[in-house]
Amino acid sequence: MSERLPYKSDVSDAQWALIEPVIVAWKAQHPSPTGHSGVYDYREIVNGIFYQNRTGCQWDYLPHDLPPPGAVKYYFYTWRDDGLDEVVHDLLRAQVREKAGRSEDPSLVVADTQSLHAAMNVPAATTGKDANKKVPGRKRGLAVDVIGLVIAVVVASAGLHDNVFGTRLLDKVAAKAPTVTTALVDQGFKSSVVEHGAGLDITVQIVQRNPEQTGFVPQPIRWRVEQTNGTLLLQRRLVREYEATESSSESRVYWAITSIMARRLTGETTPTWRGA
């Protein structure tokens, strides 16, 4: 890595040791036709992605001592399309679960959606208005395990009903973690999600809220997905929908959680912007 003053979002040596082998293996599977090994350090490319996630800056506003915006953008899109972002994320998730004394894959997930305002550059065809929350933009659907780690993410128009997100999330969960047998959802999801889950051998339980409760009251186990949604909002790029495509938005989530899990595995604290 080139010599420069570090940013708080940079990966440490210990964190890079977790990520580097996956990227090296990817590079071995994608050799350059000309035999060129590449100009930019992959660690610095990852630092660029993490910096943008954390600060929310535009591509052209990446600091000059990181690789050029075009290079970071190229690898972000290439790794997104090749699924490398998910591979890195899923491998680290398995390690975090094992470190917590759990099996590699979960048996239960919790699903929920969150509506986000869309920026001006986001194509109108991929956005809509959440009829319930009155938010124009996109929805981010998450399925997480009982310790809040992401199993699946789906981003689409906020105009779509939660049932659409529920079925898409269940499809991804079944493909990525076939050990899952139970999914907890809130009352925004309806019977069609329960029926879809049954077809995947996943029992979907709609958690009913106590009608006597007012305001926000965390529900047992289900609060984990709300906690993860809140954690993602510490990444300024994820506070609003800035990405032109839903797949880029999903990739942002995987990289954000990867940075968190890398710190958790190495016992390093996550810098906050409180007091900044």
Q: How many percent of the chain have pLDDT more than 70? A: 91
Q: Is residue 186 part of a domain?
A: yes
Q: Is residue 40 part of a domain?
A: no
Q: Distance from first CA to last CA of the chain, Å, rounded?
A: 27
For 149, how many CA atoms within 13 A lie in the half-sphere containing its CB? 29
User: CA-to-CA distance for 28 and 14, rounded, in angstroms?
Assistant: 22
- Residue 99: exposed, middle, or buried by beta-carbon count in 10 A (0-12, 13-18, 19+)? exposed
235 contacts 214 by C-beta, under 8 angstroms: no
58-107 pLDDT tens trace: 999 999 999 999 999 999 999 999 999 999 999 999 999 999 999 999 99
Q: Is residue 171 part of a domain?
A: yes
103-146 pLDDT tens trace: 999 999 999 999 999 999 999 999 999 988 889 999 999 999 99
Q: Is residue 196 part of a domain?
A: yes
> In which band, very low, low, confident or very high, does the pLDDT at 269 lie, cut at 50, 70 and 90?
confident
What sign does the CA torsion over 186, 230, 46, 11 have? negative
Q: Is residue 193 part of a domain?
A: yes
Q: Is residue 164 part of a domain?
A: yes
Q: Is residue 228 part of a domain?
A: yes
Global pTM reads 0.91
Q: Which domain holds residue 129?
A: 105-244
User: CA-to-CA distance for 260 and 258, rounded, in angstroms?
Assistant: 5
CATH number of the domain within which 222 lies: 3.30.420.10
Q: Is residue 167 part of a domain?
A: yes
DSSP string, 139-176: EEEEEE-TTS-EEEEEEEETTS-HHHHHHHHHHHHHHH
**Number of domains within the chain:** 1
